[in-house]
Amino acid sequence: MLVRVLFFSIAAAFLIAVLIAPLFIPILRRLKFGQEIRKEGPKGHQKKAGTPTMGGIIILLALTFTVIKFTNQSVEIFLLLFITLGYGLIGFLDDFIKIVMKRNLGLTAKQKLFGQLVIGAVFYYVLVRNGYDTSISVPGTGWGMDIGWLYFPLVLIMTIGASNAVNLTDGLDGLLAGTSAIAFSAYAVIAWMTSQMNIAIFSAAVVGAVLGFLVFNAHPAKVFMGDTGSLALGGAIAGIAILTKTEILLVIIGGVFVMEALSVIIQVISYKTRKKRVFRMSPLHHHYELGGWSEWRVVVTFWFAGLICASLGVYIEVLS
């Protein structure tokens, strides 16, 4: 029964995204919500300037409608919708300021961090008020411990870290849509194995929504998700990892996102301390582009890496 519901959730979210995207993209184009391309980025990306962005709204609409239709009202669903839509709102404001108000950097780093902290704190407050476990366990082992109040900073680190890591991955046509579909598929399987029906359906709905979006985001992209979509997806995957008690496992399942974030951190530290770059350009996907790989080759390779990470994560969870 649950497998059938998961299938219908994926199908419904996919169809909603595919149906509303052709209506939504022309609106974004008429409103001139076009992507601005960094001058210091790969030269081949300059031709993408003006491609409609903020397409993450398509993903969020498809996801929300599907979740409301197929899940029961529960604290888990409230928390997941709250953190997903909350982070999506931060991304929307960031996109809006960059595109409409012509302020290149959008929200300041402090403004964005403040919003992320507030949403993460509310998420944690509702979590503990409803008696959720504050323990963590090592994947693949029977060892775990209750970390008490330390779970609060862990939640903040996970939500902020995941949203920013996922955001950094959104740099090539179809890259984030594909890798996120793979990662959320892994979490749908994990939630299904642990009989967390609502979380499994939510994860499946994300898969359907991003795959529907991918139809229009694959190379050459007709629309970008922008921070509206990438920050929302990052918040969602962190929320799912917390609710399924796979906090540490997120590092493995989201291995591609972790590598992208680490490449930026390493690059910044190396340049500030040694005045040398480790990578041709960060995030990591640009390093391979500047090395001569085609955009499609980079994307497919990263999808494959994401599939390996997700499969490994599910396998480790099975051992637990």
Query: Furthest-apart CA pair in the chain: how many Å?
Result: 58
Tokens at 203, concatenated: 């994860």
Q: Residue 166, exposed/middle/buried by CB under 10 A (0-12, 13-18, 19+)?
A: buried
List C-alpha distances in Å: 15 to 21, 52, 228, 280.
10, 21, 20, 39
In angstroms, the CA 66 to CA 5 distance is 11
Please check if 72 is assigned to a binding site.
no
Phi-psi region of 122 (alpha: psi -120 to 50; beta: other; left: phi over 0): alpha
What secondary structure, in 3-state letters, does 129-167 show? HCCCCCEEECCCCCCEEECHHHHHHHHHHHHHHHHHHHH
CB of 272 closer than 8 Å to CB of 206: no
136 backbone dihedrals φ, ψ, rounded to 5°: -130, 155
Please tell me the distance from the alpha carbon of residue 127 to that of residue 118, in angstroms, as a whole number. Answer: 14
Radius of gyration of the chain (CA): 19
Residues in the chain: 320
The answer to whether the annotation marks 94 as part of a ligand binding site is no
List helix spans (H) across the chain: 2-30, 56-70, 75-99, 109-129, 151-169, 175-193, 197-217, 226-243, 250-253, 255-274, 284-290, 295-319
For residues 58 and 215, what is the distance between their CA atoms, to the nearest angstrom? 12
Binding residues for Mg(2+), as ranges, are 167, 227
Residue numbers belonging to the annotated binding site: 167, 227
